[in-house]
Chains A and B, each alone.
Chain A
Amino acid sequence: MAVRRRTRRRAPLVKRWCGCSPTSTGLANVERVSLPPRRGCARAARRYEPDSEEPRRSMRSSYIRVVLIWLVVLAALYVLQTSFS
């Protein structure tokens, strides 16, 4: 009972996993975060996936969003200039 409580308390703390927590819940967190493992943490290293496809796709859509918003802002500034001059 006491062990389970400790496991629950540790689970959300991402930085604890690389301290090689022996609990399975602690290691499960490793799969959700893309942090590189610290040196000497063999178990974490096995489960570390540096760049999954999903974040890469989301970055691509972020870049497209930046360009679209940039064009909208420039267009708005041009309208501001022409309509008030």
Chain B
Amino acid sequence: MHPIDWFIVGAYLIWIVWDGLRLTKRSSEVEGYFLGSRNLPWWAVGLSVMATQLSAITMIGTTGQGYTDGMRFLQFYYALPIAMIILSVTLVPFFHNAKIFTAYEYLEQRFDAKTRAFTSLLFLLSRSMSLGVVISAPAVVLAVVLGFSVTGTVLLIAIPTAIYTMFGGVQAVTWTDVKQMVLIVAGLAAAVVVLVTGLPSGIGLGGAMRLAGATGRLQTFDFSFDLTNQYTFWSGTIAALFLFCSYFGTDQSQVQRYLTTRSVDEARGSLLMSAYWKIPLQALVLLVGVLLFVFYLFVPAPMLFNRTHEDALRRGPRAAEYAALEQRFEGATASRAAAARVMTAADGAGDAAAMTAARQALRDREVEIRAVRAEALALVRQTTGDASYNDVNYVFPTFIVTQMPVGVVGLLIAAILAAAMSTISGELASLSTATVIDFYRRFYRPAGTDAHILAVSRFATGFWGIFASVVAVWAAELGSLIEVVNRFGSFFYGSILGVFILAVGGRYATANGAFVGLLAGMTAVAWAAAFTPVAFLWHNVIGAVAVVVVGLAVSVAERRVRAVPPR
């Protein structure tokens, strides 16, 4: 990277820590530290919610998905606006009016302490592990691209974030998120501009869309009903509805944000911002990936985007095999570029027959290239022993450092760091809040002074920062197990949503019913994950339904046996 780009990245890191620390003076009370004195504006909270959800994995992984698979991943978000409306009508007023610090605190008001403690513990377990992956995934990629060690990159991301979150609390998190969100969108917009202007003359955005569409990369609707397929219209609207209701409605990293607003309506407004902007924003991220594909139609693309593996294969015992694959790849990409040029020329001349023939040729070459890349990836898997290896996450960072102009490289790397830090800070704050409010203050020091609780909270934030960094370094060596860790949280989401449905859905459910239902829901999800091929998005539906059905059944039985009156 050019010194100017390093300067931009360094300036960003210093500025964001300074900006976060600047807000420390407003966080001298427990309510100020955890909830910004419930006085933050809805638009800042709305942007912060979106920034937390848009992690570095989105920036590098989703653009990579756009490159390889196109825009079909967008279907995953189709239910989000509806989930936001459901939450605005149901859970948000309950939480806001209950004057709580954590979502799980509400469960004690409605049920009992054990239900609260258990759901909070599940949150701490899943969120702390996934936080490690949130740090690890971009760190592994940036380490390869920038030539750093993984541990060094983990610390580069985690230390500044932990510092401003520890001292600034949720206000620092929210206001830095707002600025980081602006930086992320600016970075994505810059990427689109560089990609479109980098296309050969005569191919504008419309031409790029036609080329992408010809290879199926603009497919945003798949109406097939297949429970094993993650990204269909039905999984995106039905199964993902449960996931989003659970994530935005019961996950402390999200709930804590809208508890910082002044009123119920402001909390609703902050959630509805995601309803308006999440799908267009995600479409922009995927569009960058699709434009990357079109860009690499005309510019020689590397067969594998991870240089480390490429070098290892070239020097290893299977170098001849790899060289043969490279030769096939170069031939196929040259033919694909020729077909793309013919298609563009036919489109310009309005020659429908030539256009159809060129489109078919482009599709055929694309199939060939996919096959060669699959063989190369299999070679890497056999050589490294990493069974789920993929180079999707390396596509966008490789493009940034090899094709972008000086200055924009620094901006984009800073944007990736901003995406990582905005997610990490929000999650660190929520982990600290759940630890201190649901456990330390609830069971150990109920009468602790603000100063004492604040000191413990800062310690807890620092502890979770160190814990997540250790997990991140460990996860970097896990390879395929990262996916297991990442899906750890999805085992609980549906079940926790089920408990909240029982809590706000009526007065009939009992505390024991909710608790047994929660255990039954988790068991049902574990069974579905182990013994059925059902895609993990549907686990949220299975978990929530199991909790509600079993929870109500146990409640009915308990009321009959013990004659418990409705609460």
Contacts and interface: CB of A to CB of B under 8 A. Distances in A.
Nearest to B216: A85
B213 A85 contact: yes
Contacts of B78: 74
B187 interface: no
A65 to B, nearest CB: 8
Which among A35, A63, A83 has the highest number of chain B CB atoms within 10 Å?
A: A63
Interface in A50-85: 50-51, 55, 58-59, 62-63, 66-67, 69-70, 73-74, 77-78, 80-81, 83-85
Contacts of B279: 70, 73
B206 to A, nearest CB: 9
Interface in B52-90: 71, 74, 78, 81-82, 84-85, 88-89
B408 to A, nearest CB: 27
Interface string A12-23: 001100000000
Given A51-B264, A62-B269, A73-B280, A81 B81 contact: no
Interface string B211-222: 011101011110
Contact of B263 (A34, A73, A74): A34
Contact of A62 (B210, B214, B216, B272): B272
B212 A84 contact: yes
Contacts of A81: 213, 218-221
B537 interface: no
A28 interface: no
A61 to B, nearest CB: 11
Contacts of A77: 71, 74, 220-221, 283
The A contact surface, by secondary structure, is helix
B262 interface: yes
Contacts of B37: 15
Interface in B118-162: none
Tell me if B's interface is mostly helix, strand, loop or mixed.
helix
A58 B42 CA distance: 15
A74 B283 CA distance: 11
A66 to B, nearest CB: 5
A33 interface: yes
Contacts of B257: none
B268 interface: yes
A70 B220 CA distance: 14
B81 A67 contact: yes
Interface in B19-45: 37, 39
B125 to A, nearest CB: 34
A33 B265 contact: no
Interface in A17-59: 33-36, 50-51, 55, 58-59
B213 A84 contact: yes
A50 B233 CA distance: 40
A29 to B, nearest CB: 13
Interface in B346-390: none
Contact of A34 (B210, B219, B265): B265
B210 A66 contact: no
Nearest to A70: B81
Contacts of B71: 77
B220 A78 contact: yes
B85 A85 contact: no
Interface in B247-280: 262-265, 268-269, 272, 275-276, 279-280
A70 B236 CA distance: 14
Contacts of B280: 73
Given A84-B213, A85-B216, 6 more contacts: A34-B263, A34-B265, A59-B88, A62-B268, A63-B272, A83-B213
The 5 closest A-B pairs by CB, nearest first: A84-B213, A77-B220, A70-B81, A55-B265, A34-B263
18 contacts: A14-B262, A15-B37, A33-B262, A35-B262, A51-B264, A59-B88, A59-B265, A62-B272, A66-B81, A66-B272, A67-B85, A70-B81, A70-B82, A77-B220, A81-B218, A81-B221, A84-B214, A85-B219
